Amino acid sequence: MKVDHETLHKIAHLARLDVRPEEEQPLVESLNDVLTWMEQLNEIDTTGVEPLTHISSELNVLREDVVAHQLPREQALENAPDKTDQYFQVPKVIE
């Protein structure tokens, strides 16, 4: 797969990035370098290698979730720039 300027524009639109024309070529080259590197990684024989879910065997010490002071919905929505009934209204991200 190769990233071209059209693909870069689609990615920038989905990520809500403002890419200036002088930034386009370096970004295209950088993305293509990353994809080339990923293709090289795909060539490695990983037969018998167990997938990692964590980089180390250490475990996080987590506390129990305890319900504490909750902000009432009406108060949470007071300063919302845009709301619909009981919900925050946000711009559509995926078209």
Tokens of 80: 């919302």
pLDDT digits (tens, 9 = 90+) for 2-56: 999 999 999 999 999 999 999 999 999 999 999 999 999 999 999 998 888 878 8
What is the structure's pLDDT at 35?
95
Residues 6+ apart with CB under 8 A from 94: 14
What is the structure's pLDDT at 32?
96
Q: Would you list the DSSP string of 33-87? A: HHHHHHHHHHTS--TTPPPPSSSSS-----PPP-------HHHHHTT-SSEETTE
Give Cα 56 distance to the centre of its chain: 23
